[in-house]
Amino acid sequence: MSTNKHSRRAALIAMGLMAAAPAASALAQDNYPARSIKLLVGFAAGGGSDVVARLVGKALGERLGQPVIVENRAGDGGNIASAQVAKSEPDGYTLILMTSGHATNAAMRKDLPFDPVKSFDWVSTITTYPLALSVAPSSQIKSFEDFVQRIKTERDRYTYTSVGVGTAMHLVGEWIMAESGGSALHVPFKGGAGPMTELLAGRVDVMIDTMTNTAPLFKGNRVRLLATTAPRGVQALPGVPSVADTLPAVVFESWLGIAAPAGTPAGVLAKLNRELRAVLETPAVKQQLIDWGGSPKASSPEEFHARVENDIRRLRAVVVQRNIQAE
């Protein structure tokens, strides 16, 4: 066979392969999922993000017809799991339960081994929940507005807690200081029950924590709520104001959501988003998330992407303005 015939044959084969590739890709998306899916969680089993992952993962697997297997990759504030997913094959079979801690990590650190936004495709949020500011029932601080006035006129007399330097609770506390012009001392703890113990003992003045942790204490009359960081009052907490009622710029909601490696096929992302929306409308799943202090809330991939970008931008501005250093 002549060289020209060889060349023409090779060209025809190449063209055929190129034409077949999109069809094969489309078929793979139509058949998705054909096997089990891994859902990584960047924290230990039994924690808040883990129980949500298992609840949603089980229901999502039932809808997809393939098991969604939760795998815990704890460490470095969730960054170990994020790094693993960022470099995984973008085929829809490796997902991650992202937390809003991803945004605080990105705001605090410049050495992450992945781009905190561009390394992922953002499937949908699952639930959002505000942070809560609370005091001991016997506290002389009567309202959030009262707290703001006190930290402006009696600078550094009052204290507030968080579960660690660089956490959302810490950054929101410093955001309040920046917007109010006041000053209170930050008392960080390494997670656990430390903040609540010290608050109830009267050794710290204000606790900033997740609504998930605070709601049971409030319902049991063990703490008194000053405000939440929701953009408006929380329906389940009538009469409890938002921080934004006094400081309009300070709005922050923690979130949980599902992300995939960047480059995941659009059809796969669309199917995951559609089925996750259906899961979040399931009465049992929806009620459980509400009972855990959240507001079940699906989003489009574009909305989730914008939320992550916006949170990183706003929190990074606080880090720079307040000169917060990672430990």
Where residue 152 sits, what CATH number does that domain have?
3.40.190.10
Are β-strands 94-99 and 159-162 bridged in parallel, bridged antiparallel, or unpaired? unpaired
Predicted local distance difference test score (pLDDT) of residue 18: 60
Neighbours of 278 (CB within 10 A): 14
Max mean pLDDT among 3-7, 19-23, 176-180 falls in 176-180
Query: Which pLDDT value is given to residue 48?
Result: 85
**Structural contact between residues 172 and 164, judged by C-beta atoms closer than 8 angstroms:** no
- Identify the three-state secondary structure at position 232: coil
Examine the domain organization and report whether 152 and 225 are in the same domain.
yes
Q: Residue 148 in contact with residue 246, Cβ under 8 Å?
A: yes
Answer with the residue of higher pLDDT: 37 or 163.
37
- 106 vs 18, higher pLDDT: 106
Poorest-confidence range of 65-79, 92-106, 189-203, 256-270?
A: 189-203
Please list the alpha-helical segments (H only) found in the chain.
3-30, 48-64, 79-86, 101-108, 144-153, 168-180, 194-200, 211-219, 266-280, 283-291, 301-322
One domain, residues 302 and 206: no
- Statement: residue 137 has pLDDT above 90: yes
With a cut of 60, say whether residue 152 has pLDDT above it.
yes
Judged against a pLDDT cut of 60, whether residue 10 lies above it is answered with no
In a domain, 118, yes or no: yes
- Shared domain check, 106 and 75: yes
Same-domain pairing of 233 and 142:
yes
Please identify which residue in the block is written with the tokens 């922050």.
Answer: 252
* Final residue in a domain of this structure, among 222, 245, 268: 245
Is 103 domain-assigned?
A: yes
* Domain match, 271 and 310 both: yes
Share of the chain above pLDDT 70, in %: 89
Give per-residue pLDDT as tens, 90-133.
Answer: 999 999 999 999 999 999 999 999 999 999 999 999 999 899 99
170 is in which domain, residue-wise?
130-245
| Residue 205 sits in the same domain as residue 272 | no
Looking at the structure, do residues 141 and 189 belong to the same domain, yes or no?
Answer: yes
For residue 6, tell me if it sits in a domain: no
* Contact yes or no for 182/158 (Cβ under 8 A): no
For residue 73, with 0-12 CB atoms within 10 Å meaning exposed, 13-18 middle and 19 or more buried, which class applies? Answer: buried
Number of compact structural domains in the chain: 2
**Residue 260: per-residue pLDDT:** 98
Q: Is residue 29 part of a domain?
A: no
Q: Does any domain span residue 89? A: yes
Would you say residue 249 has pLDDT above 80? yes
- Is there a domain that residue 193 lies in? yes
Predicted confidence (pLDDT) at residue 234 exceeds the cutoff of 80:
no
Q: What is the pLDDT of residues 162-194, one digit of tens each?
A: 988 999 999 999 999 999 999 999 999 876 778
For the chain, give the mean pLDDT: 90
Instruction: For residues 122 and 136, state if they share a domain.
Output: no
Q: Is residue 134 part of a domain?
A: yes
Whether 149 and 215 share a structural domain: yes
Question: Is 4 among the domain residues?
Answer: no
Which segment of 61-75, 223-237, 278-292 scores lowest on mean pLDDT? 223-237
Prediction pTM value = 0.84
Whose tokens are 């006129």? That residue is 153
d(CA 197, CA 48): 20
Reported as half-sphere exposure (CB side, CA atoms, 13 A), residue 222 has a value of 14
- Report d(CA 82, CA 116) in Å as an integer: 9
pLDDT of residue 24: 45
Q: What is the mean pLDDT of residues 209-213?
A: 83
Together in a domain, 134 and 241: yes
Query: Which of these, 109, 104, 129, lies nearest to 52 by C-alpha position?
Result: 129
Q: Using the 3D structure, point to which of 245, 272, 300 is the last residue of a domain.
A: 245
Tell me the sheet residues that pair with 130: 253
Same-domain status, 206 and 296: no
pLDDT of residue 255: 96
Round to whole Å and give the CA distance between 18 and 16: 5
CATH code at 94? 3.40.190.150
Residues 80 and 148 in one domain: no
pLDDT of the residue at 21: 47
pLDDT band of 244, cuts 50, 70, 90? very high
**Domain-terminating residue out of 214, 245, 276:** 245
